[in-house]
Structure 1
Amino acid sequence: MPPVFRFAPSPNGHLHLGHAYSALLNFDAARQSGGRFLLRIENIDAARCRPEFETAACQDLAWLGISWEKPVRRQSEHLGDYRAAVEKLAAMGLIYPAFESRAEIAGRVARSEAHAPWPRDPDGTPLYPGAATSLSPDERTRLLEAGAPYALRLDMAAACARAGKLSWTEHGKGPDGETGVVAARPDAWGDVVLARKETPTSYHLSVVIDDALQGVTEVVRGADLFWSTSVHRLLQHLLDLPQPAYRHHRLVLDPDGRKLSKSSGATGIRELRAQGATPADIRRLVVLP
């Protein structure tokens, strides 16, 4: 079977040079290996994702000389796949609802940090304090029946105990030079959110479901997602999903050494096109042949 690569942008802004680098890496690797290249639209964030950004992304990719198989998978059209995964994990007793708002969690962490540092995940976000785990079944039922907002969190301790030791084979390089067989550390993320009342999935859950259903065999993505692979390996194990090969690549940084992002106004491919850049110019800017 030929290898299967994918590029999976979120249509919440215009693509920038970092996206171009990742998309071109995947497309080039697919061509050189005789493999397949897929485009996936990760649009579960209904508040920020817009159709015009999806259209613009497709135009930018086509201008770069990238082509992809049809049809394109849009996450918003496959929510049932994610609900089924959540139900499977719930049946295993590995998910619980947490009712605190983000502000309430932040307030509790801030109060605790007045006395001692609070543990944080690899992205620097404070770990969930775990207050919801102390709720009685009757209290959880009361809150759910009252229509309270909630997040469905993975009971990380129980999930890790069930899965045991996990690892993945890294063909790229992690933030600290990690390569080869890497020990997964999902517990470093705490009780991650897998779904919310208004959205039946999260990035962590949907990415492993999508990769499995699309037959993706090669995940080539930025080094900022390196340690997220720990959570993905755990979910793959729990849901009996295949494990793709992983290659995490360098990030394209701005002049101040920061990761490019849509929110920071990183120079977009469309802007560079309007200034007269060619696809070959984009390749030179991201240091690709």
Structure 2
Amino acid sequence: MSPKARENLTGYLFISPWLIGFFVFTLWPFLRSFYLSFCNYNIVQPPKFIGLANYQMMLFNDDLFYKSLWVTLRYAIVAVPLTLVVGVALALLLNLNVKGIAVFRTIFYLPSIVPTVAMTSIFMWILNPQVGMVNRILTIFGITGPAWLSDPVWTPWTLIFMAVWAAGGSMVIYLAGLKDIPQYLYEAATLDGASAWRKMRVITLPMLSPVIFFNLVMSVIGTFQYFTQAFVISNGSGGPEDSTLFYALYMFKRCWKYMDMGYGSAMAWVLFLIVMVSTGLIFQTQKRWVHYGR
């Protein structure tokens, strides 16, 4: 065996655990789900090929499919821009060189590392209409607090607020991007008499745009996969009145409540196409507003 072949073999041996895991736990389920999307399959019985029946049922006869898609899109339209703006704003504030700034950075970052189920449970207690802290404080001022988690009007806004509360994760990424901006750009702008607002508009935001773009893409993808908070708040039902029936939650219900794995696989592939198209459209816009050069 030649030294080159021996070197290649050694390399493949080192990465073989990852390759085995990839084929067994990623590629095979990926391909299997595509086949199952054309089948009637309930785990107990063998898959039965039914062609495009699952997709036809989904697109033409399932109102909850469109309801879950609308709930997800509505959340994305509000939550994604809001968390981006809040994340950038926090990063700008925490980039200031003031005493004790490290403490504030830690405080704002901590919510993003709290386990999602624990965070949601805490909010369920705080926003409880009878014994919750928020409604008790409102009662002191003579205000009757709403049913935050059982009113279909208020529940989506509660989920959006929870997303904003955990914006510290993206804030850290923005802060790293701000630290990477060369200081001589600000010094040159100061010599030219540029105001703070103009510096932010022509230096900070353009130089930070690759980081904003990254977080935008990840936020959109994460929004279409939104599941845990809605599941915990509604106990898996998607209520009240389907106001928290996100796409991923409905897909989960079809798979594990109704044991319709074929239909759930079809939903997963439709979600895959939606995410791919959405991400592709976002990538098409980057030439207009994302600046990679210095």
- Hey, which of these two has a bigger chunk of strand by percent? 1
Q: TM-score, normalised by structure 2?
A: 0.22
Q: TM-score, normalised by structure 1?
A: 0.22
For the pair shown, the structure with the greater C-alpha radius of gyration is: 2
